[in-house]
Amino acid sequence: MSTATIPEAELVEKVVAGARVSDAEAMALYQLPLNELGALADHRRNLAKAASYGGNGERVVTYIVDRNVNYTNVCNVYCKFCAFYRTERDEDHYVLTHEQLAEKLSELSAIGGVQVLLQGGHHPKLGISHYLEMLTFIRENFPHINIHGFSPPEFHHFSQVFEMPVLEVLRRFKDAGLGSIPGGGGEILVDRVRNRISPLKANSDQWLGVMEAAHGLGLHSSATMMFGHVETLEERVEHLRRLRELQDRTHGFTAFICWTFQPENTVLKAEPVGSSEYLRMQALSRIYLDNIDNLQSSWVTQGPKIGQIALRYGANDFGSVMMEENVVSKAGTSFRLQAEEIERLITEAGYEARRRNTWYELEPEAQIV
């Protein structure tokens, strides 16, 4: 992928005009000084959001009040980058009961929460009835909370365990109360990488296939990228290209979130990449993913200050208050923010802080509780 023939001034002009960039042009943009790349990403953010929220989209930074609930930590894919999973032989393995779910969601409701991020390990023994009953229980007892649940690798796993096509699993889960799908398990959508870090998990085509099927049923989703381990820059760009191509077909991705690999307590060892590399990749993603309107700042892995800085590097959303987070924290990184802290960080950065729902619609103005 040659970048030598691309004049920098011409490329910058193309980005400023809002035009789509190629893979080779993305590679060239990556070489720009970080502040220049950030300024271009900020410009593209403003272009993407200018017409949103009554024409005030450039000034608004959103966030959501939700809770990350891991319904089980039992998993049989043993990803090398994960410190969260347990086997059924481990003393600390669990599957949440309905009573435990109700307690967590009652706490979420008490602070004005509107979404539960429901994810778990690939449990080899739970049947479809377990999941449908869990979804129905949440829908009937907490109808105001959207169920943003189950990543594409989980659905691929369900298809195998239930001996049922992915599309049928998705349809039944939607009928039981599933509202949208998180983009977890994307890592890098290149099989050379996936075969090294998570060989038993869904491959690239399977991950994308679940998302395409979900979008076809009207289930929107986010998209993610975890980088900074064994992948090359070219493979990061290939990951972005595959997301952009799917979005061209389905328009089902509501947002993109990228974060850096957290190596502590994991089998996969890699030199941690720094905040500047995170900002560089987020900025490049904003420019390249011209058909995904929303980019989340990843303060969960980078910390609040870098999360705030990321608002000038293409991000327009501050993610979630995340009452509970169990996966990244097991790998050695643990940041927590309450709603008032998120709003302060957004305001200090010069933006208007607004709560949103899963679909990036603004919630009514409400007093922080």
Task: Name the packing angle between helices 152-162 and 128-141 (round to 10°).
Answer: 130
- The model's pLDDT over 147-200, given as tens digits with 9 standing for 90+, comes to 999 999 999 999 999 999 999 999 999 999 999 999 999 999 999 999 998 888
- Give the DSSP letter string of 177-221: TEEEB--TT-S-S-HHHHHHH-TTS--HHHHHHHHHHHHHTT--E
pLDDT at 36 over 70: yes
Place of tokens 């900025």: 283
Mean pLDDT of all residues belonging to the chain: 89
Contacting residues for 163 by C-beta, under 8 A, at least 6 apart: none
Residue 81 — very low, low, confident or very high, per pLDDT cuts 50/70/90?
Answer: very low
In a domain, 2, yes or no: no
In a domain, 7, yes or no: no
The count of domains in the chain is 1
Q: What is the pLDDT of residue 5?
A: 64
The phi and psi torsions of 34 (rounded to 5 degrees) equal -55, -40
In a domain, 341, yes or no: yes
Amino acid at 199: P
Cα–Cα distance, 202 to 255 (Å, whole number): 21
3-state secondary structure of 305: helix
Percent of the chain with pLDDT over 70: 86
- The model's pLDDT over 322-359, given as tens digits with 9 standing for 90+, comes to 765 444 444 344 556 889 999 999 999 999 999 999 99
Taking Cα atoms as reference points, which of 318, 283, 280 lies closest to residue 300?
318
Cα–Cα distance, 348 to 343 (Å, whole number): 8
In a domain, 54, yes or no: yes
Q: Please tell me the number of Cα atoms within 13 Å of 287 on its side-chain side.
A: 32
3-state secondary structure of 302: helix
Query: 119: domain CATH number?
Result: 3.20.20.70
pLDDT at 19 over 60: yes
- The model's pLDDT over 117-128, given as tens digits with 9 standing for 90+, comes to 998 877 777 899
In a domain, 64, yes or no: yes
Q: Please tell me the number of Cα atoms within 13 Å of 227 on its side-chain side.
A: 27
Phi-psi region of 53 (alpha: psi -120 to 50; beta: other; left: phi over 0): left
Query: Which residue range forms the structural domain that includes residue 106?
Result: 28-355
Residue 304 — very low, low, confident or very high, per pLDDT cuts 50/70/90?
Answer: very high
The phi and psi torsions of 24 (rounded to 5 degrees) equal -65, -40
Cα–Cα distance, 114 to 104 (Å, whole number): 13
pLDDT at 93 over 50: yes
Task: Name the packing angle between helices 233-250 and 204-216 (round to 10°).
Answer: 20
pLDDT at 311 over 70: yes
Cα–Cα distance, 36 to 181 (Å, whole number): 34
In a domain, 295, yes or no: yes
pTM of the complete model: 0.90
Cα–Cα distance, 279 to 118 (Å, whole number): 28
Taking Cα atoms as reference points, which of 123, 363, 337, 153 lies closest to residue 353?
363
Cα–Cα distance, 121 to 77 (Å, whole number): 8
In a domain, 92, yes or no: yes
Taking Cα atoms as reference points, which of 169, 74, 171, 100 lies closest to residue 128?
169
- The model's pLDDT over 214-254, given as tens digits with 9 standing for 90+, comes to 999 999 999 999 999 899 999 999 999 999 999 999 999 99
Residue 6 — very low, low, confident or very high, per pLDDT cuts 50/70/90?
Answer: confident
pLDDT at 266 over 90: no
pLDDT at 141 over 80: yes
In a domain, 16, yes or no: no
